[in-house]
Amino acid sequence: IYVACGPLGGIHSALVHTTAEAVFVCSCDMPYLSVEVVRKILRHSTLREVTFGNDGVHLHPLLGIYPKCILPIIQAELDQGSRKVLACISKVPHTIVDLSGFEHQLRNVNTTHDYNQQAIAVARC
Query: What is the rounded average pLDDT of the residues 66-80?
Result: 97
Q: Is the pLDDT of residue 106 over 70?
A: yes
Q: pLDDT-derived band of residue 56, with 50, 70 and 90 as boundaries?
A: very high
Rounded mean pLDDT of 78-106?
95
Kindly state the average pLDDT of the residues 35-63: 96
Helix (H) or strand (E) holding 71: helix 71-79
pLDDT given for residue 123 in this prediction = 65
Do the beta carbons of residue 3 and residue 69 sit within 8 Å?
no
Res 125: pLDDT: 60
pLDDT of residue 115 exceeding 90 = no
Q: Residues of 74-110 as b/e, b for ≥16 C-beta within 10 angstroms?
A: beebbeeeebebeebbeebebebbebeebeebbbebe
In angstroms, rounded to a whole number, what is the distance separating the alpha carbons of residues 108 and 106? 6
E-strand spans in the chain?
22-26, 50-54, 59-67, 94-98
